[in-house]
């Protein structure tokens, strides 16, 4: 009889990509495994998961809105309805194990799995555990983590250091530098910086690059500038007459492998999934954590790398005055680049998806 696995969570690409990677690894290890995703209605996973070939059920759940108290009034009712629906889904699907990757839907699904006696596994992506996962961790059978020192949040006997599952296609860059540069119309033999604010873009990073255009031209440094689809049109109108030939402005990156391969230095936000990819890529990195995330996760993720001398840290607050200086000084400093490269590469964990998938199957047996 085929094993049945429920995977819950989502809300952002940082939660969805690891969830799909675990599902794909489960299918590789056990082709007849049945997998059902549970997400939050209206969130990104409701489109991305079916596109990856998996069935998904939506819960009508939301996070706490810190800006508007009135928007939280319906939260207890939504939580109760989500718990009842999660119970129904687990029973009807006859789940053998439930996996939570973080995001709104993880809470009710794993809570109800614990009540029904279905073993649960948590995949905690950040270096600082959120409130929901800390509570769920008390009853979870196993907690797979990406950072050391997580015993301050979870029972030590339940922890397994696995790293975060990553999109393997994005980090396979060996021998692709020439191809990568050509895909962006950039020249070989010139220093190249990749600036990426993720799929939605990052206003701070965009403002910094915009303010540094003349300096990039002056230093003959090439820039791949992924600004996010939300900002693209306005930026295109702003820079259309003065965008240097050595700067390529894009709303999003279709081929992350080409972007990573082309770059000598990478400037990025510090989401957990992004950091795991950057460790696998092994290039010098400047991290500018987003201040707009719950419990300031990104700053804590970035500082975990900083402590290991594996990244340069620039705060969002100081970025507009210091980031371009940091970019230009780092790309000119070969010794520093080599040091960062070797330290960040040591943190790479390439097979997290399969390690976690094996643990999921062990919980069933």
Residues placed in the known binding site for UDP-N-acetyl-alpha-D-glucosamine: 12-14, 126, 167, 199, 298
Assigned token pair, 166: 């990553």
3-state secondary structure string, 198-225? CCCCCHHHHHHHHHHHHHHHHCCCEEEE
> What does the chain come to in residues?
365
CA-CA-CA-CA torsion sign (312, 318, 319, 322): negative
Q: Which residues of 29-39 are buried (b: 16+ CB within 10 A; e: fewer)?
A: ebeebbbbbbb
Task: Give the count of beta carbons closer than 10 Å to the beta carbon of residue 329.
Answer: 11
DSSP string, 229-243: HHHHHHHHHHHTTT-
* Inter-CA distances, 300 with 96, 144, 153, 339, Å: 34, 18, 14, 22
Closest CA to 318 of 355, 298, 288, 350: 288
At 4, give phi and psi (nearest 5°).
-125, 125
Binding residues: 12-14, 126, 167, 199, 298
């Amino acid at each position: 009889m085929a094993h049945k696995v429920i995977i819950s969570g989502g809300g952002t690409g940082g939660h969805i990509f690891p969830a799909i990677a675990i599902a794909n690894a489960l299918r590789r290890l056990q082709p007849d495994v049945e997998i059902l995703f549970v997400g939050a209605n209206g969130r990104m996973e409701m489109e991305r998961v079916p596109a990856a070939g998996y069935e998904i059920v939506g819960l009508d759940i939301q996070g706490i809105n810190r800006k508007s108290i009135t928007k939280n009034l319906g939260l207890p009712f939504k939580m109760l309805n989500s718990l009842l629906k999660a119970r129904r889904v687990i029973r009807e699907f006859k789940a053998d194990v439930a996996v939570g990757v973080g995001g709104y839907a993880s809470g009710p699904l794993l809570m109800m799995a614990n009540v029904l006696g279905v073993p649960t596994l948590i995949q905690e992506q950040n270096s600082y555990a959120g409130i929901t996962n800390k509570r769920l961790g008390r009853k979870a059978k196993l907690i797979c983590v990406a950072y050391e020192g997580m015993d301050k949040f979870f029972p030590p006997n339940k922890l397994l250091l696995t790293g975060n599952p990553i999109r393997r296609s994005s980090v396979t860059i060996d021998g692709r530098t020439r191809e990568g540069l050509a895909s962006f119309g950039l020249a070989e033999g010139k220093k190249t910086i990749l600036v990426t604010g993720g799929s939605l873009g990052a206003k701070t990073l965009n403002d910094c690059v915009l303010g540094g255009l003349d300096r990039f031209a002056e230093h003959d440094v090439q820039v791949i500038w992924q600004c996010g689809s939300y900002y693209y049109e306005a930026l295109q109108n702003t820079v259309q007459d003065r965008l240097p030939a050595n700067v390529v402005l894009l709303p999003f990156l279709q081929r992350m492998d080409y972007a990573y391969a082309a770059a000598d230095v990478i400037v990025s936000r510090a989401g957990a999934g992004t950091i795991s990819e950057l460790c696998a890529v092994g290039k010098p990195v400047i991290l500018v954590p987003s201040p707009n995330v719950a419990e300031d996760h990104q700053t804590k993720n970035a500082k975990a790398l900083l402590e290991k001398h594996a990244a340069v840290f620039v705060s969002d607050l100081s970025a507009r005055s210091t980031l371009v200086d940091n970019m230009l000084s780092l790309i000119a400093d070969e010794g520093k680049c080599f040091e960062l490269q070797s330290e960040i590469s040591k943190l790479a964990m390439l097979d997290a998806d399969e390690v976690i998938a094996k643990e999921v199957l062990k919980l069933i047996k």
